[in-house]
Structure 1
């Protein structure tokens, strides 16, 4: 069973009603908040409060070093939230003095059964980038979720990464979402391959809310970075045809990261 969409009743369709799935994407900045403190319990508390079915996290450390107290953040968060874990390391290095490898990348936490999980290296130089692709089992359907964190180096490299990312969702894969930190605004030219097959969930949402309401000139724009004064919408959710979006919200990070989390209440077609 999914967590559902509180207060939202799916619209009736010709067959079974759509399946509600609450999804969150969040660049965690390896658990270090704007106060420069690594505080994994603070992050876990925030994630628990959003009551999501699927949580996609970027910049997650596993035994990476002092900046995150050398802990396995992915495993500890999955245990704290009692959720299944899929892991997509972008950096994966052996350490001669330790059995545990030094890793950094994308994590997916799920209340829904994870049927498939694979990791795909994305093109480009500098910091390695990957896409973590999973297939989740729903009560009456399936959902493909691909999570990523694109480069900051150049629009050209992001364009190549986006093309590779879009190709991971085949025509026969039914419902799917692409999420993560794209390091580009949704209308950036390098995201053209996404717009050919996917739609920005923020624009589809019937109900929207964000943290910019106190500024009279800025409202419901979905801005996520930097957390203390957001002016960039780089954390996004893209949905394939047929996937509905009941609501989309940018949440308060409560000091847990330099980004703000994005929550979407999805409506997934049944029987696909």
Structure 2
């Protein structure tokens, strides 16, 4: 019997945000299921957040896919936004986003006067306190939090059984004092790894969401690649790496199956979502995870990767069909 095809997908879901600003968890789950992927990597995933109706987005997608296994890994725990109107409801006069709108819209020399006007109003001061309370309530996730804790992170979902799961916490782009007080703009970053039992043998699949707006993401990718040296091969790393074009390949030496632009969704002109492949058998004497075989199989791309507009999020989903073959001679 010949090797079967395997469909991989990665999607930065922007917590299920629709073009009109609403968040629609059922629409997100249904949209991802239309990809008919066997393994899906998700980034910017909410769990128990007010802005996404308190939904467990990863669980909803897994259910819609008929997945055999999935794992949600938070990067941040706690509320990411103040309590406000539920999705689909009109905001009240005390909605903090409305009170701070003049400040959010101001730029350049107009910024300080706008801040003064906002903070002189009772609603503006209440909104500032609400956002400050949210800021200090969040903390860097440890990875052992209960499922009922609000969180924001990444997820990996598989229609095939998963033999082994592993989390990797990445270097911080912004300091978090004692893991609780954020002293910068960047959130913590994390990766989740799974050894998936496909019909043609095990495949290590990893997803992550790297920092944006700086070169720190390059440090994180190199650091992650080093931590994955001992993982079983073949290995696929999928996700929003916030690195353009060939930079991820140059940093890791791995093949990239994505050669298309994926962001922004409505008119893509930047390629920052990637599917990297490392299917080189480990060198003799290279350390490996205990009990984890290295088949060294080859990942063959069956067609060019596709960017799919699902009508939700600010990213396109990326889909690529592959098959697992024997190692290179």
TM-score relative to the length of structure 2? 0.65
Structure 2 contact 208–238 (Cα < 8 Å) conserved: yes
**Is the 1:19–1:270 contact (alpha carbons within 8 Å) kept by the matching residues of 2?**
no
Work out which of the residue numbers 64, 80, 100 in structure 1 matches 2:148. 100
Are the equivalent residues in 1 in contact too, given 2:204–2:231 (CA < 8 A)?
no
- CA offsets, 1:151-181, max 9 Å, x none? 01411x1121011221233266221101100
Is the 8 Å Cα contact of residues 25 and 262 (structure 1) preserved in structure 2?
A: yes
| Kept in 2: contact 1:17–1:270 (CA 8 A) | no
| Segments of 4+ moved more than 3 angstroms | 16-19
* Equivalent residues in 2 for 1:151-162, closer than 5 Å: 151-155=211-215, 157-162=216-221
Residue 31 of structure 2: which of 34, 39, 46 is its match? 46
| Paired position in structure 1 for 2:51 | 67
Q: Which moved more, 1:140-149 or 1:236-245?
A: 236-245
Query: Which residue does 1:119 correspond to in 2?
Result: 167
Give per-residue Cα distances to partners, 1:174-203, cap 9 Å, x unaligned.
211011001111323x76332x2x101135
User: Structure 2 CA distance, aligned partners of 1:41 and 1:62?
Assistant: 14
Q: Counterparts of 1:182-201 in structure 2 under 5 Å?
A: 182-188=241-247, 192-194=250-252, 196=253, 198-201=254-257
Alignment equivalent of 1:257, drawn from 292, 313, 325:
313
RMSD: 2.4
Q: Which residue of 2 aligns with 1:219?
A: none
Higher share of residues assigned strand? 1
In 2, distance between residues paired with 1:187 and 1:99?
37
The whole-number CA distance in structure 2 between the counterparts of 1:138 and 1:41 is 28
Scaled by the length of structure 1, the TM-score of the pair is 0.78
How many equivalent pairs are there?
Answer: 232
Alignment of 1:15-34 (within 5 A): 17-34=2-19
Structure-1 separation of matches of 2:33 and 2:264: 22
User: Aligned partners of 2:70 and 2:214: how far apart in 1?
Assistant: 31
Q: Gaps spanning 5+ residues in structure 2: where?
A: 80-136, 138-145, 175-185, 280-297
Q: Which runs of 5+ in 1 are unaligned?
A: 1-15, 204-221
Counterparts of 2:58 and 2:315 in 1: how far apart (Å)? 18
